[in-house]
């Protein structure tokens, strides 16, 4: 018995269909590549400027990459190299003498060069205008900006302060959000849906509304305990669940089959044991997403450290420290970009290392099995 291959639709044989499909795919790819380049341009500028000296930055003839003009030593003195057009093509020559005279109301130029590749030719006199010649540049990055900016802004202390706040706050966020999300995902009690709606509705509450009451509360607590200015206002609130994180984790927990909970309950597991040994091991992507969300938020947060850590430079975070030294960096952009690059290094590395799990957690949290 023979089987016949089903005929392809007539439209697949139409001329130009493959070309239209290729054009559509190429157009979408080009658009995506363009958006990616535009998105990465600021990061590229920061990276390149971090390896430039101040002289390279202000040099009008400087290249896009970190580069410096090349000089050639002739008879004990250094002379700049230029790209000089000759009969045999463009050659790199050192300008050892330049002369400008006036004749009949016009300027007459005389440029004297020496060819490093042919010193036997001696001095070469031309009537070229050295202003129109392109100087020779060589790739010459500098690494001095990094130790200089590190010491100038005490970047080590700023990074340590930010790291402590971010890590402790992330731990508090995960503990509190896991507990609340597990309760909403697995326990049915009177008013559970109403409570969840109330929790989610806090998302629309502007932060500016709670700023003054929260600030007064922490000032009162700090005064009563004699603590003064501390990191507590930046850490303790995160031990109380955030609506965004609870929603993400609740959605993920609900996607885990309840059959696993029932099997654990038959084996004698308590709800806490079910959470620790059944739910959490399967929720690593969601936990990673929530943890990284908060870590990046704490790392980049500027407003709250500015409010609560005013006057305590020893407790300042990286965002505050960079702003305080803005006047220094204004005249030395290379130092500013080097400090910014070092501040970006940890979160960017962390994101790329956990990218696969992070993206999986974001995608799956919105899908219920």
- Secondary structure class of 281 (helix, strand, coil): helix
Least confident piece of the model among 18-27, 52-61, 106-115, 305-314:
18-27
pTM: 0.76
Listed in sequence order, the residues at least 6 apart from 286 whose beta carbon sits closer than 8 Å to its beta carbon are 248, 249, 252, 361, 364, 365
**Strand pairing class (71-74; 77-86):** antiparallel
Provide the β-strand partners of residue 144. Answer: none
**Residues of the chain with pLDDT > 90: what percent?**
12
More confident site: 212 or 60: 212
Q: What phi, psi does 102 have (nearest 5°)?
A: -110, 130
Q: Using an 8 Å Cβ cutoff, are 66 and 140 in contact?
A: yes
Answer whether residue 129 shows pLDDT above 60: yes
Determine the pLDDT at residue 359.
64
What letter would DSSP give residue 130? Answer: G
Quick: pLDDT tens for 75-103: 888 988 999 888 888 888 889 888 888 77
CA distance linking residue 351 with residue 357, whole number of Å: 10
CA distance linking residue 369 with residue 357, whole number of Å: 19
pLDDT range class, residue 168, cuts 50, 70, 90? very high
For the chain, list the domains and their CATH numbers: 40-66 (no CATH), 71-135 (2.30.30), 146-364 (1.10.3720.10)
pLDDT range class, residue 25, cuts 50, 70, 90? confident
Distances from the Cα of 328 to the Cαs of 59, 181, 295, in angstroms?
20, 46, 28
Q: Residue 289: exposed, middle, or buried by beta-carbon count in 10 A (0-12, 13-18, 19+)?
A: buried
More confident site: 158 or 62: 158
Q: Using an 8 Å Cβ cutoff, are 358 and 349 in contact?
A: no
Label residue 161 left, alpha or beta by phi (over 0 means left) and psi (-120 to 50 means alpha). alpha
Answer whether residue 357 shows pLDDT above 60: yes
Return the HEC string of 127-141.
Answer: CCCHHHCEECEEECC
Task: List the one residue out of 289, 308, 324, 139 whose CA is nearest residue 219.
Answer: 308
Mean pLDDT, residues 126-154: 87
Quick: pLDDT tens for 313-336: 888 899 888 887 776 677 788 888
Q: How many CA atoms lie within 13 A of 31 on its CB side?
A: 6
Determine the pLDDT at residue 227.
74
Answer whether residue 19 shows pLDDT above 80: no
CA distance linking residue 305 with residue 236, whole number of Å: 13
Mean pLDDT, residues 36-60: 85
Q: Using an 8 Å Cβ cutoff, are 108 and 100 in contact?
A: yes
């Amino acid at each position: 018995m023979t089987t016949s291959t089903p005929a392809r639709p007539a439209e697949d044989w139409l001329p130009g269909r493959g070309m239209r499909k290729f054009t559509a795919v190429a157009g979408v790819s080009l658009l995506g590549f363009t958006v990616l380049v535009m998105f990465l341009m600021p990061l590229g500028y920061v990276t390149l400027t971090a390896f430039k000296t101040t002289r390279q930055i202000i040099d009008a003839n400087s290249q896009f990459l970190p580069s410096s003009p090349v000089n050639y030593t002739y008879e004990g003195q250094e002379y700049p190299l230029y790209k000089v057009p000759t009969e045999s093509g463009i050659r790199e020559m050192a300008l050892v003498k330049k002369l400008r005279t006036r004749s009949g109301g016009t300027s007459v130029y005389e440029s004297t060069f020496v060819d490093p590749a042919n010193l036997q030719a001696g001095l070469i006199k031309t009537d070229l205008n050295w202003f129109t010649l392109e100087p020779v540049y060589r790739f010459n990055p500098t690494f001095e900006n990094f130790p200089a900016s590190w010491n100038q802004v005490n970047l080590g202390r700023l990074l340590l302060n930010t790291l402590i706040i971010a890590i402790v706050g992330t731990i508090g966020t995960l503990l509190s959000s896991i507990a609340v999300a597990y309760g909403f995902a697995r326990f049915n009690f009177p008013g559970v849906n109403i409570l969840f709606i109330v929790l989610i509705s806090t998302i629309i509450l502007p932060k500016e509304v709670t700023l003054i009451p929260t600030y007064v509360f922490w000032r009162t607590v700090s005064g009563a305990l004699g603590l003064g200015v501390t990191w507590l206002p930046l850490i303790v609130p995160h031990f109380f669940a955030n609506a965004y994180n609870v929603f993400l984790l609740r959605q993920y927990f609900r996607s885990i089959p309840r059959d696993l909970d029932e099997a654990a309950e038959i084996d004698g597991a308590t709800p806490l044991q079910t959470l620790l040994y059944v739910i959490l091991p399967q929720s690593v992507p969601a936990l990673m997403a929530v943890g990284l969300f908060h870590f990046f938020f704490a790392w980049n947060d500027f407003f709250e450290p500015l409010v609560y850590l005013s006057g305590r430079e020893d407790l300042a975070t990286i965002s505050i420290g960079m702003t305080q030294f803005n006047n220094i960096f204004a005249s030395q952009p290379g130092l500013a970009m080097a400090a910014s690059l070092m501040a970006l290094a940890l979160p960017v590395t962390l994101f790329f290392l956990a990218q696969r799990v992070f993206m999986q957690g974001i995608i799956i949290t919105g899908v219920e099995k």
